Amino acid sequence: MDNIRNIVILTGAGISAESGLRTFRAEDGLWEDHPVEEVATPEGFARDPDLVQRFYDERRAQVIAANPNAAHLALGRLDSAWRRGDLLIVTQNIDDLHERGGAARVLHMHGQALSAWCTACDARHAWQGTLRNRPPCPACGMAALRPDIVWFGEMPYQMERIYRAIAAADLFVSIGTSGAVYPAAGFVQEAARSGARTLELNLEKSLGSRFFDETRLGRASDLVPALVEELLAQP
């Protein structure tokens, strides 16, 4: 890990698994109980808004009850200490465990469980409670709030900023993501094309494993603290 200045870290559900938040595609994963098209598409929301609001009310309550694990805390440490260049944590996760683990440079490309978005006036509000009771938007008063989550078929947030950071990166690290969902699954190839070293940390080989220079298999709570030590020990 020599001569690294700019780092981009992509995280997925796997980094929060040891905090008790279920991943999506595991055997006991979230999509096993709820077909994706019912709860994570604009069409599903139009068809049965109550079901979708209840699904995300539950996600929100679980996020509030969860705590950051050793992997989130290690990335928080890295974010505070890294001064050799830029660092950006791009997360597909809708939880706030990176922030509570001490990281500040975090971008939520798939939105946030603890945010509500008004489809009438476009305002976003920090949100801890439920949405299934159709509360009024604090800004415009309309009962038009939806979870501030990027559903399938919608555009992930801040893609230009993400691609700019990847183009400037010397190191791209992917942690706890299956590599099944684009555009995040394609970031590794973008990073490799711009000359970054690419490293994957995951419990098992992801779909895109062959695109990485190096894969380390194991639990995020073991692998991430070890990587952070390695990076901070650079001469």
Residues at the annotated binding site for Zn(2+)? 118, 121, 137, 140
**Is 125 a residue of the active site?**
no
Residue 22: CB minimum distance to ligand APR, A? 8
Structure-token pair, residue 110 = 């798939």
Annotated binding site for substrate: 56, 59
- Is residue 177 involved in binding ligand APR (CB under 6 A)? yes
Residue 112 engages ligand APR in binding (rule: CB under 6 A)? no
CA distance 134 to 75: 37
Which window, 117-125, 140-148, 172-180, 187-195, contacts ligand APR (CB under 6 A)?
Answer: 172-180
Q: How far is CA 194 from the centre of its chain?
A: 23
Strands of the chain (E only): list them.
7-11, 87-91, 106-108, 111-118, 124-126, 145-149, 171-175, 197-202, 214-217
d(CA 95, CA 51): 20
Does residue 117 interact with ligand APR by CB under 6 A? Answer: no
Please, is 157 exposed, middle or buried when counting C-beta atoms within 10 Å of its C-beta (0-12, 13-18, 19+)?
A: middle
> Of 72, 98, 108, 110, which is the active-site residue?
110
Under the criterion CB under 6 A, does residue 72 sit at the interface with ligand APR?
A: no
- How near is the Cβ of 206 to ligand NAD at its closest, in Å? 9
DSSP 45-73: HHH-HHHHHHHHHHHHHHHHH----HHHH
Q: Which residues bind ligand NAD (CB under 6 A)?
A: 40, 94, 110, 149-154, 156, 180-182, 185, 207
Which residue numbers belong to the known binding site?
12-31, 56, 59, 92-95, 118, 121, 137, 140, 176-178, 202-204, 220
Q: Does 174 bind ligand APR (CB under 6 A)?
A: no
92, amino acid identity: Q
Which residue's CB is nearer to ligand NAD, number 83 or number 182?
182
